[in-house]
Chain A
Amino acid sequence: MEQFKKLLRTRIAVNLFGGLFILACVIIGAVTVWPAATNFSSFHLGFQVGLTTVVEFFLIWGSIKYLRVLGKEAELKKLYYEENDERTRAINEKTGGNVLNACSLIILTAGILAGYFNAVVFFTLVACCVFLSVTHKILYIYYSKKL
């Protein structure tokens, strides 16, 4: 359990640092790049703001969840069991969970970067990312019912 507490503390640090880093990137972008960005769609810029907001929300929510659990042994054990549950791992393996998540993230990042050059590529890659995420969710629900 001590190892798990250490892991949670690391996650909290990564969440907070990551959140600050992303916020800094967006603020710098908003101040320096976006005012000069006359040739890309407002949807692309708005998409980045929306995505950043959602990511920040989840990072902060995750940090609060872990902080809340760190002080309570019973809840810590419950979280540990949930994260290491064998059935959940089996479902994740069957749905290719980690691979699909990584692919979605890579495609989304590529889409955002490509959006600075070509709007069609941006929309295509974002649509791919959405399709991957929806497919993953459907498979997850299917295997959750099956197993």
Chain B
Amino acid sequence: MNTKIKELRKEHKLSQEELALAVGTTRQTITSIEVGKYTASLVLAYRIAHYFGLTIEEVFDFSDVEEL
């Protein structure tokens, strides 16, 4: 899943470590989410979006998700 986390992080001049500590996870998890290898849980997605003052849909790209 694509995300805008990297761009948002650079806008706010945050390192991965700083963002990880702010949202209660590890740097490795943030890295994996940014490269699209790992899909964050609802709670973590909410925390990341909330940290940047955005909605989950504005941070995470759901266009790849199949319509049922």
Q: Does residue A87 face the partner (Cβ distance < 8 Å to B)?
A: yes
Q: In the bound complex, how far is the Cα of B29 from the Cα of A87, in angstroms?
A: 6
Residue of A at shortest CB range from B41?
A86
Q: Are A86 and B21 closer than 8 Å at their CB atoms?
A: no
Interface mask (B20-44 → A, CB under 8 Å = 1, otherwise 0): 1100111011001000011011011
Between A and B, 13 residue pairs with Cβ closer than 8 Å are A77-B21, A78-B21, A81-B21, A81-B25, A85-B28, A85-B29, A86-B40, A87-B38, A88-B29, A146-B37, A147-B32, A147-B37, A147-B38
Q: Does residue A82 face the partner (Cβ distance < 8 Å to B)?
A: yes
Binding site secondary structure of chain A = helix
Q: In the bound complex, how far is the Cα of B43 from the Cα of A86, in angstroms?
A: 10
Q: In the bound complex, how far is the Cα of B23 from the Cα of A50, in angstroms?
A: 42
- Would you give the shortest CB distance from B27 to chain A, in whole angstroms? 10
Contacts of A90 in B (CB 8 A): 38
What residues of chain A have their CB less than 8 Å away from a CB belonging to chain B?
A: 77-78, 81-82, 84-88, 90, 146-147
What residues of chain B have their CB less than 8 Å away from a CB belonging to chain A?
A: 20-21, 24-26, 28-29, 32, 37-38, 40-41, 43-44
Q: In the bound complex, how far is the Cα of B35 from the Cα of A92, in angstroms?
A: 21
A78, A84, A86, A146 pick with most chain B CB within 10 angstroms: A86
- Would you give the shortest CB distance from B11 to chain A, in whole angstroms? 23
- Would you give the shortest CB distance from B34 to chain A, in whole angstroms? 12
- Would you give the shortest CB distance from B29 to chain A, in whole angstroms? 4
Residue of A at shortest CB range from B40?
A86
Q: In the bound complex, how far is the Cα of B32 from the Cα of A90, in angstroms?
A: 13
Q: In the bound complex, how far is the Cα of B17 from the Cα of A81, in angstroms?
A: 12
Extra contacts, 12 of them, besides A85-B28, A86-B43 (Cβ < 8 A), are A78-B21, A81-B24, A81-B25, A84-B24, A86-B41, A87-B25, A87-B32, A90-B38, A146-B37, A147-B32, A147-B37, A147-B38
Q: In the bound complex, how far is the Cα of B41 from the Cα of A110, in angstroms?
A: 40
Q: Are B28 and A87 closer than 8 Å at their CB atoms?
A: yes
Q: Are A85 and B26 closer than 8 Å at their CB atoms?
A: yes
